[in-house]
Amino acid sequence: MQVIHPFEPVADKKSRILILGSFPSVKSRETGFYYGHKQNRFWKVMAQILQCTVPQTTEEKRDMLLIHSVAVWDILKSCDINGSSDASIRNPVPNDIAGLIDKTNIAAVFFNGKTAYGVYQKYSPQLAVPTHVLPSTSPANAVYSLERLCDIWKNEIAPFMK
């Protein structure tokens, strides 16, 4: 079933880094915001990296990102998908990532997992900024503990933060 990405990127002119997922999960689409599944560790990882309390509301999440010059979006604008399964993605249509970068101050792009990076490589024009693949914060990626995710993400992202 084709699904269209239901929300806008979180970004502004001060954004220095962009974190790209693949496509919103069913829970994220239900909650109307990124990483809406309670077991996804994205918000815990970002809060630890940014030395903040873990945000609870959409407004708190958006504020935490923008205050720290972090942009978040997904690589896909639309696709055929069964539930939340990245493996089921068919007929992907990429978002205009380069267009977003042109409107911001983004110095690097980070992919939240190999699927997002694979879709980027196959369907999107290559970007003029450095790109990095990070281990997914998805609960399906149980091989990485929260502590290990935080260490890897921080080591990769820190050089690009102001």
pLDDT of residue 125: 83
- Cα–Cα nearest to 28, from 144, 137, 126: 137
Q: What is the pLDDT of residues 24-52, one digit of tens each?
A: 998 999 999 999 999 999 999 999 999 99
Q: Are 135 and 113 in contact (CB under 8 A)?
A: yes
Strands 2-4 and 76-80: antiparallel
Q: What is the pLDDT of residues 74-124, one digit of tens each?
A: 999 998 888 777 777 889 999 999 999 999 999 999 999 999 999 899 888
Quick one: tokens of 87?
């493996």
Q: Which amino acid is at 98?
A: A
Report the distance separating Cα 16 and Cα 140, nearest Å. 28
Strands 90-94 and 108-112: unpaired
Q: For domain 2-155, which architecture applies?
A: 3-Layer(aba) Sandwich (3.40)
pLDDT of residue 35: 96
- Average of per-residue pLDDT values in the chain: 93
